[in-house]
């Protein structure tokens, strides 16, 4: 496949795609807005290595110099991580503006799915997806990630969603939009730092091959949209629920007091939860992303071989 206008596919990614080998997309807002520097850069590079070690080719996605990129250089990852919140956080609506002005942008789950689909990449690993925010009845704050999952054919492997969100409403929204939520070796919806929550997933699947088979069936029938693959954080890295809940409550209060809304909301909450829980939550965050990278690689390989 040749790169469409606006899109640069890195040579190793292009080679894998044209020879039918497994590729795993990775997002860049997690680098700029999801973790502090320098751990964000170290993690991004480590996650790429983890994908490679497990037999797939990583394609970290961002917008650089107004070009959509599927596959970044180390320098580009360093640039995004160092600039942090100064980089534009790019969701679907923002993409044409960054392209037109030749800008630097970090792609959210939604925008990463858009670019992955353009490149022909079907499997994507990240930490957590956006969702319906608590108090959305008033604020209408529902992440564009959920609409993207409804329309773009990319499977997103994540550790569930952080409870900065309303997990119940997030599941309801996904159900309405026809987006399946699969639990990998679990019946419970993982809540990012913890392995479970009060909610059930729609389907439990215990192997990467079963997940790949469902993706094949879905897309073979041209059913549009993606899938959430919720992969619980490994037991040894899970956080005590009380510590996390307390930090999240405080972060939410601060956001309300400071009038943080719109696209600033999630980055603000992520940064506050990270600061309030110190290095523990960051270490957990890093481990769960690595864990998702491994599962995504296995799913991508099964998908290519089936």
Per DSSP (E only), the strands in 21-116 are 23-26, 57-64, 67-70, 88-90, 105-107
- In the complex with ligand PSU, the residue whose CB is nearer, 256 or 306, is 256
Say whether 27 is catalytic: yes
What are the residues whose beta carbons fall under 8 Å from the beta carbon of 67, sequence distance 6 or more? 6, 7, 8, 99
State the Cα–Cα distance between residues 30 and 289, nearest whole angstrom.
Answer: 10
Q: Which is nearer to ligand PSU, 36 or 65 (CB)?
A: 36
Residue 166 found at the interface with Mn ion (CB under 5 A): no
| Cα angle: 208, vertex 244, 240; to 5 degrees | 70
- CA 207 – CA 81 distance, rounded (Å): 33
Q: Could you say which of Mn ion, ligand PSU, none residue 76 binds, taking C-beta under 5 to 8 angstroms by partner kind?
A: none
Query: In terms of CB distance, is 105 or 128 closer to ligand PSU?
Result: 128
The nearer residue to Mn ion, 44 or 171, going by C-beta atoms, is: 171
CB of 4 to ligand PSU, least distance (A): 23
Write the CB contacts of 161 (distance below 8 Å, at least 6 apart in sequence). 128, 129, 130, 131, 167, 170, 191, 192
Cα angle at 181 between 33 and 268, to 5 degrees?
A: 20
Per annotation, catalytic residue among 69, 76, 89, 162: 162
**48, 50, 94, 141: residue in contact with Mn ion (rule CB under 5 A):** 141
Residue of minimal Cβ distance to Mn ion? 141
Nearest 5°: the CA angle 74, 75, 76 is: 90
Q: C-beta of 285: minimal distance to ligand PSU in Å?
A: 7
Of ligand PSU, Mn ion, none, which one does residue 50 interact with (CB within 5 to 8 Å by kind)?
Answer: none
Stretch that binds Mn ion, among 11-19, 134-142, 150-158, 187-195 (CB under 5 A): 134-142
In the complex with ligand PSU, the residue whose CB is nearer, 60 or 266, is 266
Please, are residues 37 and 16 in contact by the beta-carbon 8 Å criterion?
no
Residues at the site binding ligand PSU, with contacts judged by CB under 6 A: 27, 29-30, 33-34, 91, 108-109, 127-128, 130, 143-145, 162, 192, 263, 266, 270
Buried b (16+ CB within 10 A) or exposed e, 119-129: bebbbbbbbbb
* Given the residues 27, 50, 76, 148, the one annotated as active site: 27
Q: Which residues are catalytic?
A: 27, 162
């Amino acid at each position: 496949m040749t790169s469409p206008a606006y899109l640069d596919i890195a040579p190793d990614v292009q080679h894998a795609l044209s020879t039918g080998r497994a590729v795993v997309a990775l997002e860049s807002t997690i680098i700029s807005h999801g973790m502090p520097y320098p751990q964000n850069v170290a993690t991004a590079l480590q996650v790429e290595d983890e994908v490679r070690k497990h037999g797939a080719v990583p394609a970290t996605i961002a917008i650089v110099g107004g070009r959509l990129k599927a596959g970044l250089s180390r320098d580009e990852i360093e640039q995004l991580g160092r600039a942090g919140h100064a980089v534009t956080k790019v969701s679907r609506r923002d993409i044409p503006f960054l392209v037109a002005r030749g800008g630097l942008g970090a792609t959210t789950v939604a925008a990463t799915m858009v670019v992955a689909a353009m490149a022909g990449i079907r499997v994507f690993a990240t930490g957590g997806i956006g969702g319906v925010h608590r108090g959305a009845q008033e604020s209408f704050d529902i992440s564009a990630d959920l609409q993207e999952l409804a329309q773009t054919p990319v499977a997103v492997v994540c550790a569930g969603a952080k409870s900065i969100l309303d997990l119940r409403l997030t599941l309801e929204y996904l159900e309405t939009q026809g987006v399946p939520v699969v639990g990998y070796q679990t019946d419970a919806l993982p809540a990012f730092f913890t392995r479970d929550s009060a909610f059930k997933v729609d389907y439990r699947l215990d192997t990467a091959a079963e997940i790949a088979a469902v993706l094949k069936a879905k897309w073979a029938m041209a059913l549009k949209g993606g899938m959430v693959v919720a992969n619980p954080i490994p037991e040894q890295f899970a956080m005590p629920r009380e510590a996390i809940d307390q930090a999240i409550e405080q972060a939410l209060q601060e956001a309300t007091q400071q009038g943080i809304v719109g696209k600033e909301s999630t980055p603000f909450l992520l940064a506050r939860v990270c600061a309030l829980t110190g290095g523990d939550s960051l270490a957990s965050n890093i481990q769960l992303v690595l864990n998702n990278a491994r599962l995504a690689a296995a799913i991508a390989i099964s998908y290519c071989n089936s």
